[in-house]
Amino acid sequence: MDATSIFKDKAADDDSLEEEDDSYDGEFLFKKKKLVFASGSGKKGSEPSCQAERCLADLRDAKRYYRRHRVCQVHFKAAVVTVAGLRQRFCQQCSRFHELSEFDDTKRSCRKRLAGHNERRRKGSSESRGEGSGRCQNQPREGDNRCETLIAFPGTPTYKQFRIR
- All structural domains of the chain, each given as residue ranges with its CATH number in brackets, are 1-46 (no CATH), 47-110 (4.10.1100.10)
Burial (CB < 10 A; 0-12, 13-18, 19+), residue 10, is exposed
Alpha-carbon distance 90 to 110, whole Å?
9
Q: Is 158 left (phi over 0), alpha (psi -120 to 50) or beta?
A: beta
* Contacts within 8 Å (CB) and 24+ apart, 5-14: 11/35
Name the H helices within the chain. Answer: 3-13, 64-69, 73-77, 111-130
Residue 28's pLDDT is 58
- 126 pLDDT more than 60: yes
**Section 5-9 average pLDDT:** 46
Give tens-digit pLDDT for 19-71.
444 555 555 555 554 444 444 444 446 788 999 999 999 999 999 999 999 99
Does this model's pTM top 0.75? My answer is no
Task: Say which residues have a Cβ less than 8 Å from residue 79's Cβ, sequence separation at least 6.
Answer: 89, 106
